[in-house]
Structures are given as structure tokens and as C-alpha cells.
Structure 1
Amino acid sequence: MLKVDPVSIKERLDQLATERYQWESIWQDVIDYMLPNRSPVRGTITPGEDRSVLMYDSTAYKSLLRLSANLNDMLTNQSSQWFQLGIDDKTLSNDPSVQSWLMETTEQIRKYLDGSNFYDQIHELYMDLGSFGTAIMYVEDSNDSGKYLNFKTCHIREIYLDENKYGAVDTVFREFIYTARQCYQRWGDKISDVTMDKYENDPTFETTIIHACFPRDERDPKSKDNLNMEFASVWMEKDNMHILDEGGYETFPYLVPRWMKSSGERFGRSPALASLADIKTLNAMMETTLIAGQMAAEPPLQVPDDAFMSLNVAPGGISYYRAGTNDYIRPLETGKRLPLTFDMAQEKRDSIADAFFATQLQVIDKSEMTAQEVRARMSENMRVIGPTVGRLQNELLSVLIFRVLNILNYSVDENGQPVLPIPPESVQGKEYSLKYVSPLAKAKRHNELQAINSAVGTAFQWAQAGKPEVLDNLNIDVAYRRNVDISGAPVDILVDEKKVQANRKARAEQMAQAQQLQQSQGQAEVAETASKAGKNLKDARG
């Protein structure tokens, strides 16, 4: 029995569409001036149609490409470890068996991300994030053998969203197009009679699908069926209000990061929106420059009104006019000149590039810099982009990893075995934590690392200057372990704290035994020397 009324789904979608309406013209401007080959927010596009009629300069598009590539490299680089799974329990997190399980689970998650389409889709997400300010990725389990995960970055035109009382997105209505063939592939006999008829006779027929995902207000938390999960999921054919499937999710399946968000707004704002005025101005400047340049290179001509021969307007061409007359061929003065200088256009280009953090996120030349200088440069860059990185960690990366973890926890291989290692009993029911170890994440904590190293270094300098008692204030073990944690080194390089204490105790006992043995040997040597001296004295008295 269905728990959701299709009419209520349609009404809620219409309400969200009304609230989103004002954003659509802004997004369309971004598409027109930056992404002309992208499907429009409003209307349709003919395949193969050239829509770059408003784009006379590619600075904004190139800046967006660079920003997306830099975010991908510095936040979710496929060739390096960018996250580590942890546990919110200090005692357990120091347990070698728990550490081993966390490391193995982290590696398995990375393995299945690598084997999926995640890294293709995350780059598209970064493109949307930099252009529209809001990006959407749908994360679901995959039916493909051995893959388990599937990712889909959705066009901004498809998405309508709402927030909870904390400002987090917990409601997404998605409206998109499927062919009758795609509908049958996904839902089989559940499709409507109309769509089934189209599938049999016209499989390329397109129909509009709605996916509604929102918190389920009425549910039994103790029940394990999908109609009582935290988030409701309803798939529906829009035109005939036919419910295709109703289910649920334990974790929200949509990732909805915003670049930055103003109070009272649900959708985010982006570098493209921040520089849209400059982008439009630069395009207008380039259009004017091209027109003026063309006028200068190929000016309109003045000819006598009784001219009868066609003009040769090719470079070096010769046209004839009647000799002995003032009616000669000459350029028509239009008053148009090249009004813009290169510096004026370059100023706009620099402004646009700066809005896309071209300077802050540029690849650092490490060949002539020390590691400390590189970290300092990264830290300086983080002052500008740090708030955005923090938002992306909260709205994108954390939601992503926990969603993936939820899917993989229910996944089994072809032999029916869990794809993730079975957790130790000691961590059952414990909360997971995440540590980000990407270059941007480590740069974000650079100041903390610098402060620790400065404090420790100062203490040793004072000790060397004749104040060794200052070292009594330092907990070197804590400082070193914190240093390792911030630098992102694998936790398994550290020995368990209890084992460290045991090793130190054993070393101290060995040193005490060696010292005692040395003292015993010294006492024996003294006794032997005294004995020899007494004997010599006795012999001398003979």
C-alpha cells in the first residue's frame, strides 16, 4: 500500500519550483556567457546547435576549468589518500586491532571509489559548483558486478530543494527526462500502461520522471523495511501521476554542496556569479573591439552612384574608376575606432581570474622552496578559500563518505561475503569520524602544526641556553602524536601508547641492570686493586 499521495508530490514540486524561479535567469546568464553548450535552464536545446552567440571571450570558462581541476587535485585526488576513517573513542582509536580495521576499511572504500564512476562525476560537480554555486550528486548502489557504487551529477535545472531548521539540505525533488526504454530498464512492469505501450512501439519516446526524496515524518524506527527508513523515496511519472516505486534511504542520497550561501537563501552563490558583471562587460568589450577592428580592416566604401562595375574588395585588389573625375572610390568614414586598449581588457580578465582563485589555487613551484615555505604558502592561500573548504567538507565530503559507507555495509560480493571488513566487537554501535588529509585539508591545519613546532623548538632553545628545567613543561609524546595527526601520516606508523610505556620500562630496567653491573664490576676492580696493594705492601715488609 502506498504511503504517499502522488497529488501531494506534484503540489510540493510546484511550490519548490515557484520558490526557485528567480534563480533561473541568473543561471541562464552563466550558461550563455560561460557554458554555451550546456543545456539551458529554461527551454530546450537542439542537438548540435551552436549557442555561443554571447560568448566573445573564454577567460571565464578557462578560469572555471582551472578551478575545477585544482579542487579535484587538492580535495579528492584519485592518486593520493585524501581521507581517513576514524572512531569517536580515544581508547578504541589507540587499539591496534581497531586501527588495523579502520585502515583496511578506508582502503576498501578507496578501492570501490576508484572502480566506480566517482572521479568522472566529481569533476562535473566541481564545474557546477564554480559556475552555479550549487551542485548536486546522486549516490546509489550499482547493479554492475563488482562496482557496488554509482554516481550521477545532476543538471541544476533538474533540482528543487529545501532545508531543515539547521540550514542543511534534507529535501530534493528531481525532475528529469527518461525514454520509455530507460523507464522499462529501471522499473520493468511497474511503469504505466501508457509508457509500456510506448516502450513496445516507440522506445525512444521521452517522458518526465519525478524523484522526491524527503524526511519521513511518520515511521516506525524499529522497523527495518524501506517504508520506515528515515528518508522517503518516491519515483513518479509526472504526466499521468503514476507512482513507479516507493521506498526509502537510511542516509540522504543527494550531495548538495554550496560554494557559499547568503542568509535566507537555499541555493549557493559562486565565483561565476560574483564576477558575472565583469564577464558580461568583457564580452561586450570584445564584441565592440571585433566590430571596430573589422570596420578598420574592411571599411564600407563610397562609390559614385553611376558606378557599374563590381568592386574587388580583396586585399591588394584593383577596382577601376573614371579618369579625370573626383568621383573616386574611398572608405566611408563611420567614426568607429578601436576604443578599447589591451590594458582595459586585461584588467577585466585579471579580475575574473581572481574571482576564480587563480592565484590562491595555482600549482606551487616547489623546486626553489623548502617544505616549510610550501606549507606557509598553502596556509596563506587557505585564508581566502578556507571557508569554502570547510563548507565542502561538511556538505560534500562527509555526506559522501558516510553515504558510501552505508551502501557498502549492505553490499556482498559474488560469494555472498561482505565487501567491507567485519568490524571488531568493541566498535559495534560506535560513531565513525573522518579525517581529511588532502593538500587543502592539511593546509587548513598548518597554523596549528606551526604553533606546536614553534613551542617545542623554543623550549629546546631555552634548554640549550642554560634553562633545561623548561622542558619539564612539555608533554613531548602528545606534541609528536599531534604533529603526526595533523601532517596526515598513517596512524599505523605509531606504536600503541601502552606498548610505548612498556618499551620504556623495559629499557629503563635494562639500563638499571647495566648500571648495576657496571657498578659491581667497578667495586670488584677496586677490591682486586686493594687486595693487590695489600699483598705488595706485605711483600715489601717481608
Structure 2
Amino acid sequence: MARNERERKKVVTLLTRFGTLVTQRRVWESHWQEIADYIVPRKADITRRRTDGEKRTEKIFDGTAIHSAELLTASLHGMLTSASMPWFQLRFSDPDLAANDMAKEWLEGTELKMYDAFARSNFQEQVHELYADLVAFGTAVMMIEKDDVSQLRFSTRHIAECYLAEDEHGRVDTVVRKYKMSLRDARHLWGKDIGPVLVAKAKDDPYEMHEFVHAVQPRDEYDTGLSDNLNMPWMSCYIDPENHWLIHESGYSEFPYVCPRFLKASFEQGYGRSPAMTALPDVKMLQEMSKTTIKSAQKQVDPPLLVPDDGFVLPVRVTPGGLNFYRSGTRDRIEPLMTGANTPLGLAVEDQRREAIRQAFYVDQLMLRESPNMTATEVISRNEEKMRLLGPVLGRLQAEMLQPLIQRSFTLLGRQAIDGKPIFDDPPADLQGRGGLDIEYVSPLAKAQRQGELNSTLRMFEILNPLAQLDPGIFDYIDMDGLVRFITRTVGVPATVLRSEGQVLQMRKQRDQAAEEQAQLDRASQVADAAGRAAPALKAVGNLVQGPNTA
């Protein structure tokens, strides 16, 4: 069923492509379900749908994996996109603008407005779910859209809904979601465009859940001279797959999703791998061990009993203070059955599995041991070491998450206005046409990666200081202004506490001028002092020249 032949062909094409993506993803689904069952049970709806509110921890006997995954999730959140400190800065690609005060002022204002938009939106809670999906499933999907109230709206989609495809560069460029929505909500969202079949169903039972498909992919053909929804680089189609009905077609100027992968094999398409996948064998083994050890401990604490087949009045009461009767004159007793269970051995082997699980989730790096005698410098050094150990994760997340997230947010905000006034101020006329913008990451993890350069610089001074006593000129090689700029950028000093280049030049000019004036005063004072000291001598010389008074 379709409105016309064009829509019918489009629906058939999209659903055929979707079927291919479903087949490609199927091999991952059982793996994801197993991970969810043991490590993130709240997300355990991959291959089977659970009732809302149903218990999901029936397979869990030890929570080490759950806690370790939560720790890594929280650590990534705090180290990459913390709500309490800056985690990115904008820079002009043109290096000549690096010292331009107008450029710095405009960039600073733009950054602040972006941070304000992130704070107003639901970014922090949604990005936390993204990190949770990365740690558990190795793949996460977040959509970034315009919002009429907060300007930006973020929504992390459950991996069970999403089917991905990559371009030739290995970047995800296609996301197809299959999800359920009540007919009431669908009617409110699209009106009668949901089609006559669903309109009729919505009247009878508006709360019935129905499946929909949303496909976002590069548009095969479009007119670059037009800017309407049907001629944008990215196609967006909502489909009723049951009735083969195209509900709504539009487009995006930029890819609206960010789809980072934690780790990814080059030969695997679309989806990534995670620490949870590495830890899964140990997690499953630990659950079985814990169950066995619990049984062993129960047998030791409350052992099975050996009861003679004769001489006791049944039933045998094993409760505290229980009173049991037996035939007098017999030596038979109720005795515990000692099975020889070795509970300490079981606990020791469990600890080995727990340590392996913690290592898979980087817990040993995230929680480096600190001795009570450590100095503040040693604590800082260890913390920086921890950050560097997680460095390999940063490269992929910068390319697949942070960069597209910031770029998409920047362009969305740049097209919006509040009360008729654009959110971003126009750049000064001198800056227009001077190149694009670059993103510099200043999160704690990113700064730790650059800490090695700073340590090398400080080490240089330790080596040069003794040599400078022999030849002070060796420091002529060092650009002190450049060194200060490098240090302030590396350690993340806020721009608001630094003076501008113009202010520094003015202060130096005033200082030089004051020094010159002081030098002139000193020279005049020296001349006056010399003249004062020479006056008696000059007078004596004058007297000698004139000779004795003969009047």
C-alpha cells in the first residue's frame, strides 16, 4: 500500500536494505544479550523482550562485573565530558589568528554559548547512557536534534533498536532504527500521514504499540541547487513496515547521529567490541563458582543430617531449641554429614576471576594504589599516569564521538535564534573568510596525554639551570612567551585569568617607558652629583687663574 508508485518503490528499496542490515547484525545479538544478562541487566532486551518492572538479575550471584562496568562508565564520563570543567575549545585553523584578540574574544563567547546549550539540554544524562553502551556492547548510538526550548536535544538509542552500515572510510553513515510507539503518539507526531490503516486502529485502541522504521542514510541523488528537505545530503524516512507505508520523508544537512565504537576489528563491519566482551568468559565462570561456593558454605553452616533409621520419634526438629525424643538406652545420635567441602579454596579461585574482570574494565588503572606517605606531587603524577594508560581509548572516541558531536551541535546552534537574535554573534569582519575552526580537547584525559610534553619541558630546565651558571646565554634559545602560552594551554588555565596579547604589549611598553624615564632621572642625578662634587674644585681653579687680590 502506498500513495503513489514513487513511494512504493522507495519503501521496497529501503525495507530490502533494512533486511540486509538485519541479517548482518544477527550474529551480534546473542552476544549482546549474554553481556546484558550478566553485566548490564537493565538493558537485557536484545533477543527477548521483558515486561517492564520484571526482575532481571536472576543470573547474578556476584556483582563484580556490574560494579566494574559502572566504574568505567562513570570514569569515561568524568574524564571526557565532565559537567564541572571544560572539555573542548575552539581554535581557528589559520595560525595567524592565534594571537588575534578579536578572534579569541569571539571564540570564547561562542564556546560559552555552546556550554550553556549543553547545560540546558539533556546532554549529561544521555551521554552517560552512551558510555554505558560503549563499555557493555562496544557500540553506542546517539541522535542530536534541534529543540525549541533548550536548542539541543540528545537521545541515546538502545543498541537493540539500531542497525548500522559504514562508508568506505569505516565511519558509520547509515542508521536504521526499528522501534515501537503507541498509535496515539504516532497520530500526534504525524497526524493522518500514518496512513488509513493506522488511523483506523488509533481510533479503536490508541494505546496499541506498533512497530516503525526510521532510516537515515546518504541520499543517492539530490539537487545541490535546492535546499528543501528532499534535497539534503542525508535522507530521513519514517516507514510503517507492516503496511509498506511511507509516513514521512525529509532530510538532514549533517549526519544526525554519533556512533562511536570502543574497539573495532578492521574486518568487522559496523559494530565494535567492548571490555565486557573481553571479561565475559570470566564473568560467566565467576557466577558458576559463586553459586557453587554458596552451596558449599551452606552445607558447612547448615549441613545435612544423618538420622538413624530407628530409635527417634519423628519429625526431627532442627530449629534452634528444637526438642527431639529418642529411645533410651541407645547410643544413636543425630549427626551432621561432613562433605569435606573446601570453601576457602573456592573463595580464593573466585578472587582470581574477580581480579581478571577488574583488569578487563581497567579498574586497576582507574584506582591506582596510593600510600599514606605519598606527596602531592606523587599523587598528581600517579593520576596523570592513570589518564595516559587510558589514552588508546581517546583516539577513537575523539574521531567517532567528540568531533561529530561538537560539529553537529555547533551547526545546529548556528542556525537558530532566540527572540529573533542569532545564538552566535557574527564573527568580526576581519575574521570572515580566514579559514575554518579546529577543535582542541581539554578534558582531563586529553590534558594527561599532553602532560608528557610539559614534563619534557620542565626536565629541560632542570638540565640547563646548572649550565646557565657557566653561560647565561644558553636561555637565548628559549622563547619565553611561547613557553608560557604552551604551559597555560597544556595545564588548562582558563582564558579569563590571562591577559590578552594587547594588554601584555601595553604593560611592557609602559614598563619600558618607566624604566627609560627612571634611567634619565638617574643620569640627571648623577650629573648633578658630579657637578656638586666638582664645584669646590672649580672654584679653587678659578681663584688660581685670577691670582691674588692686588687692589
Q: How many angstroms does 1:243 deviate by?
A: 1.6
Q: Contact conserved, 1:177 with 1:206, CA < 8 A, in 2?
A: yes
Q: Contact conserved, 1:37 with 1:50, CA < 8 A, in 2?
A: no
Amino acid at match of 2:218: P
Q: Which moved more, 1:240-249 or 1:529-538?
A: 529-538
Q: Which moved more, 1:532-541 or 1:207-216?
A: 532-541
Q: How many angstroms does 1:383 deviate by?
A: 3.7
| Counterpart Cα distance in 1 of 2:207 and 2:255 | 31
1:443 aligns with 2:448: yes
Q: How many angstroms does 1:150 deviate by?
A: 1.2
| Counterpart Cα distance in 2 of 1:100 and 1:158 | 43
Task: Give the aligned partner of residue 154 of structure 1.
Answer: 157
Aligned pair in 2 of structure 1 residues 106, 18: CA closer, same or farther (>3 Å)? Answer: same
Amino acid at match of 1:166: H
Q: How many angstroms does 1:365 deviate by?
A: 7.0
Q: How many angstroms does 1:302 deviate by?
A: 4.9
Q: How many angstroms does 1:364 deviate by?
A: 8.7
Q: Contact conserved, 2:182 with 2:209, CA < 8 A, in 1?
A: yes
Q: Contact conserved, 1:211 with 1:235, CA < 8 A, in 2?
A: yes
Aligned pair in 2 of structure 1 residues 176, 98: CA closer, same or farther (>3 Å)? Answer: same
Task: Give the aligned partner of residue 420 of structure 1.
Answer: 424
- After TM superposition, the score normalised by the length of structure 1 is 0.91
| Counterpart Cα distance in 1 of 2:245 and 2:133 | 31
Task: Give the aligned partner of residue 21 of structure 1.
Answer: 26
| Counterpart Cα distance in 1 of 2:285 and 2:120 | 44
Unaligned runs of at least 5 residues, structure 1:
none
| Counterpart Cα distance in 1 of 2:541 and 2:430 | 75
Aligned pair in 2 of structure 1 residues 455, 45: CA closer, same or farther (>3 Å)? Answer: same
Amino acid at match of 1:230: P
| Counterpart Cα distance in 1 of 2:160 and 2:125 | 20
Q: CA RMSD, aligned part only?
A: 2.7
Secondary structure of 1:140's aligned partner: strand
Task: Give the aligned partner of residue 284 of structure 1.
Answer: 288
Q: Contact conserved, 2:37 with 2:44, CA < 8 A, in 1?
A: no
Q: Which moved more, 1:115-124 or 1:83-92?
A: 83-92
Q: Contact conserved, 1:86 with 1:93, CA < 8 A, in 2?
A: yes
Q: Which moved more, 1:357-366 or 1:199-208?
A: 357-366
Q: Which moved more, 1:301-310 or 1:97-106?
A: 301-310
Q: How many angstroms does 1:120 deviate by?
A: 0.9
Task: Give the aligned partner of residue 200 of structure 2.
Answer: 197
Secondary structure of 1:519's aligned partner: helix
Unaligned runs of at least 5 residues, structure 2:
1-5
Q: Contact conserved, 1:99 with 1:491, CA < 8 A, in 2?
A: no
Q: Contact conserved, 1:133 with 1:271, CA < 8 A, in 2?
A: yes
> Per-residue displacement from partner, 1:321-363 (whole Å, max 9, x unpaired)?
4445677655556675537432221221122112211132238
Larger Rg: 2
1:249 aligns with 2:258: no
Q: Contact conserved, 1:100 with 1:492, CA < 8 A, in 2?
A: no
Secondary structure of 1:80's aligned partner: coil
Q: How many angstroms does 1:495 deviate by?
A: 4.3
| Counterpart Cα distance in 2 of 1:538 and 1:335 | 125
Task: Give the aligned partner of residue 350 of structure 2.
Answer: 345
1:64 aligns with 2:90: no
Task: Give the aligned partner of residue 434 of structure 1.
Answer: 439
Amino acid at match of 2:207: T
Aligned pair in 2 of structure 1 residues 369, 291: CA closer, same or farther (>3 Å)? Answer: closer
Task: Give the aligned partner of residue 535 of structure 1.
Answer: 539
Secondary structure of 2:43's aligned partner: coil
Amino acid at match of 1:246: E
Amino acid at match of 1:9: L
Amino acid at match of 2:289: M
Secondary structure of 1:37's aligned partner: helix
1:393 aligns with 2:375: no
| Counterpart Cα distance in 2 of 1:334 and 1:459 | 72
Task: Give the aligned partner of residue 225 of structure 1.
Answer: 228
1:78 aligns with 2:83: yes
Task: Give the aligned partner of residue 169 of structure 1.
Answer: 172
In structure 2, which of residues 37, 46, 49 is the aligned counterpart of residue 44 of structure 1?
Answer: 49
Q: Contact conserved, 2:138 with 2:261, CA < 8 A, in 1?
A: yes
1:92 aligns with 2:104: no
1:404 aligns with 2:409: yes
1:480 aligns with 2:484: yes
Q: How many angstroms does 1:450 deviate by?
A: 1.2
Q: Contact conserved, 2:101 with 2:501, CA < 8 A, in 1?
A: no
| Counterpart Cα distance in 2 of 1:4 and 1:407 | 32
User: 1:198-217 maps to which residues of 2 (within 5 A)?
Assistant: 198-217=201-220
Q: How many angstroms does 1:493 deviate by?
A: 4.3
Amino acid at match of 1:277: P
Q: Which moved more, 1:511-520 or 1:390-399?
A: 511-520
1:293 aligns with 2:297: yes
| Counterpart Cα distance in 2 of 1:119 and 1:363 | 26
Amino acid at match of 1:442: K
1:126 aligns with 2:135: no
Q: Contact conserved, 2:33 with 2:44, CA < 8 A, in 1?
A: no
Secondary structure of 1:53's aligned partner: coil
Q: How many angstroms does 1:219 deviate by?
A: 2.3
Q: Contact conserved, 1:139 with 1:149, CA < 8 A, in 2?
A: yes
Q: Contact conserved, 2:183 with 2:208, CA < 8 A, in 1?
A: yes
Q: Contact conserved, 1:302 with 1:332, CA < 8 A, in 2?
A: yes
Q: How many angstroms does 1:288 deviate by?
A: 0.5
Aligned pair in 2 of structure 1 residues 106, 368: CA closer, same or farther (>3 Å)? Answer: farther
> Per-residue displacement from partner, 1:255-284 (whole Å, max 9, x unpaired)?
111111122123221111111111111111
| Counterpart Cα distance in 2 of 1:185 and 1:461 | 76
Q: Which moved more, 1:512-521 or 1:230-239?
A: 512-521
- After TM superposition, the score normalised by the length of structure 2 is 0.90
1:273 aligns with 2:285: no
| Counterpart Cα distance in 1 of 2:59 and 2:353 | 17
| Counterpart Cα distance in 2 of 1:501 and 1:242 | 68
Amino acid at match of 1:229: M
Task: Give the aligned partner of residue 190 of structure 2.
Answer: 187
| Counterpart Cα distance in 1 of 2:353 and 2:317 | 39
Q: How many angstroms does 1:152 deviate by?
A: 1.1
Secondary structure of 1:434's aligned partner: strand
* Identity over aligned pairs, percent: 37
The number of equivalent residue pairs is 538
Aligned pair in 2 of structure 1 residues 192, 22: CA closer, same or farther (>3 Å)? Answer: same
Q: How many angstroms does 1:157 deviate by?
A: 0.8
Task: Give the aligned partner of residue 3 of structure 2.
Answer: none
Aligned pair in 2 of structure 1 residues 512, 329: CA closer, same or farther (>3 Å)? Answer: closer
| Counterpart Cα distance in 2 of 1:88 and 1:445 | 20
Q: How many angstroms does 1:488 deviate by?
A: 1.5
Task: Give the aligned partner of residue 378 of structure 1.
Answer: 383
User: 1:460-471 maps to which residues of 2 (within 5 A)?
Assistant: 460-463=465-468, 465-471=469-475
Q: Which moved more, 1:378-387 or 1:331-340?
A: 331-340
